[in-house]
Structure 1
């Protein structure tokens, strides 16, 4: 009976540890999702303003 109680205590501890990991990961996912949304919004605003300004390949910048 003691052996079963030890195993159960170990399993409960493992479940608690895993639950903490899941909570931390979800918080990180939420934080990263907010940052991506912010970056997407900023990029959309920049494109709408026409200030893309990205030089592609051999294309010369407008000041030449």
Structure 2
């Protein structure tokens, strides 16, 4: 192999390493966002369950929309 080919391969390896680090950062950020969304969904689900339990006493929980 000549020196030019070795330098070209080293440059490609360096670019791939940088790209891998960037992708790792993106995946870590996406994982954090997924965890926040899951926590939000869990909280909303619990609130919905709480509302349905409160409304199960025979009372109507539905309110008239504000445009009526």
Distance 1:54 1:23, change over 3 A: farther
Normalising by the residue count of structure 2, what TM-score does the alignment of the two structures yield? 0.75
Residue 41 (structure 1) aligned to one of 39, 42, 46: 46
After the TM superposition, which segments of 4 or more aligned residues of structure 1 sit over 4 Å from their partners?
A: none
Q: In the alignment, which residue of structure 2 is the partner of 1:4? A: 9
Question: By how many angstroms is 1:53 displaced?
Answer: 1.6
Q: Cα RMSD over matched residues?
A: 1.8
Point out where structure 2 has 5 or more consecutive residues left out of the alignment: 1-5
Decide which structure has greater helix share. 2
| Number of equivalences | 57
Normalising by the residue count of structure 1, what TM-score does the alignment of the two structures yield? 0.79
Which piece of structure 1 moves more, 26-35 or 43-52?
43-52
Point out where structure 1 has 5 or more consecutive residues left out of the alignment: 56-64
